[in-house]
């Protein structure tokens, strides 16, 4: 009796696998090109009309809004605390639309369904039922957790951008305060100046300016800014302004001290990364460089030893 099949890919047609791989690569290339074109278009529009930067907070169109309206009743019985936490993460990732939470759950369900169904269909077309359940469950799990991973990576990228741009924002705040500009006008002016270098930070500063114009107190608007950015420096900045206002301290002097502190922190993080680089290089050097170097150095000696044994 033949042994049972243990290989996950046993029974699959090599031509079908090759065709599927080419299809996936082609789809990835097309998606990358479309995504690049969309990013370039957004950057061009942002640079051409900096005052329209807050418009970038609107995601999707009428179709997404209708889809969100269908999904929202399903989430009515979900835990309100978890929804608030998810809403906060989506805001930090840049998805500020009220329909972001239903669309996120819809993306997770759609990813799980498409991943599982696509895998099952591919194995069925290949006329192989070996480990069908395992592969289907694995791909469905990847599709389900894929949006969560994407949101996490997006938050990390945005927080890194905020952390890099916040010292520059503080320097410009010092300049505006010493020039006699009010805080509201300073934030509005800086949001226009930072559009090209730090567009995400400029977008959030423009939102702060709009909130203040709508009647929101300065302290509350800055606290919301800290929550949207997910950055400790922004929360501290809001507390600093509130304390300076309550105690009557010099605002320009407080901003200058805090700006120097932010710049020192950025330099410290850069030095920390530089010091950690040798330790991070140990693994790739050990795995990829040193074996090749040893083989290159010992290969001539090995050939000579083998030749001597062959002649003897």
Note the pLDDT tens digit of each residue in 150-172. Answer: 888 999 999 888 888 888 888 88
Residue 73 has a pLDDT of 57
Higher pLDDT: 249 or 5? It is 249
pLDDT-derived band at 32, boundaries 50, 70, 90 = low
Helix axes 232-247, 132-178, angle to 10 degrees: 30
Q: Mean pLDDT over all residues of the chain?
A: 76
Can you tell me the distance from the alpha carbon of 192 to that of 211, in angstroms, rounded to the nearest whole number?
A: 16
| The predicted structure's pLDDT at residue 108 | 82
C-beta atoms surrounding 163 within 10 Å: 19
197 pLDDT tier (thresholds 50, 70, 90): confident
Q: Does the structure show a pLDDT above 60 at 1?
A: no
For the entire predicted model, the pTM comes to 0.64
The whole-number pLDDT of residue 56 equals: 41
Greatest alpha-carbon pair distance for the chain in Å reads: 96
Percent of the chain with pLDDT over 90: 0
Handedness of CA 92, 54, 191, 40 (dihedral sign): positive
Q: Give first-to-last CA distance, the chain, whole Å.
A: 50
| 131: Cα within 13 Å, side-chain hemisphere | 13
The whole-angstrom separation of Cα 91 and Cα 229 is 8
What are the structure tokens assigned to 6, written together?
């243990």
């Amino acid at each position: 009796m033949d042994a049972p099949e243990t290989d996950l890919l046993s029974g699959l047609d090599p031509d079908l696998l090759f065709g599927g791989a080419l299809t996936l690569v082609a789809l990835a290339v097309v998606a990358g090109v479309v995504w690049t074109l969309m990013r370039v278009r957004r950057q061009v529009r942002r640079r051409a009309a900096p005052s329209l930067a807050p418009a970038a907070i609107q995601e999707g169109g009428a179709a997404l809004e209708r889809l969100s309206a269908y999904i929202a009743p399903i989430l009515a019985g979900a835990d309100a605390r978890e929804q608030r936490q998810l809403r906060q993460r989506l805001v930090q990732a840049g998805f500020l639309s009220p329909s972001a939470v239903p669309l996120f759950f819809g993306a997770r369900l759609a990813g799980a369904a498409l991943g599982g169904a696509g895998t099952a269909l591919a194995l069925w077309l290949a006329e192989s039922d070996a480990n069908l359940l395992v592969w289907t469950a694995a791909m469905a799990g990847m599709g389900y957790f894929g949006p969560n991973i994407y949101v996490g990576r997006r938050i990390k990228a945005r927080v890194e951008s905020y952390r890099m741009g916040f010292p520059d924002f503080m320097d410009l705040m010092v300049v505006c305060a010493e020039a006699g500009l009010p805080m509201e006008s300073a934030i509005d002016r800086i949001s226009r100046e930072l559009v090209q270098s730090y567009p995400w930070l400029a977008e959030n500063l423009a939102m702060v300016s709009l909130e203040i114009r709508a009647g929101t107190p300065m302290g509350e608007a800055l606290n919301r800014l800290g929550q949207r950015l997910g950055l400790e420096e922004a929360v501290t900045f809001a507390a600093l302004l509130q304390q300076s206002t309550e105690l009557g301290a010099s605002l320009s002097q407080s901003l200058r001290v805090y700006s120097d502190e932010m710049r020192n922190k950025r330099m410290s993080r850069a030095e920390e990364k530089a010091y950690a680089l040798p330790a991070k290089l140990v693994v790739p050097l050990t795995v990829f460089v040193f074996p090749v170097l040893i083989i290159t150095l010992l290969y001539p000696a090995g050939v000579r030893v083998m030749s001597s044994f062959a002649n003897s």
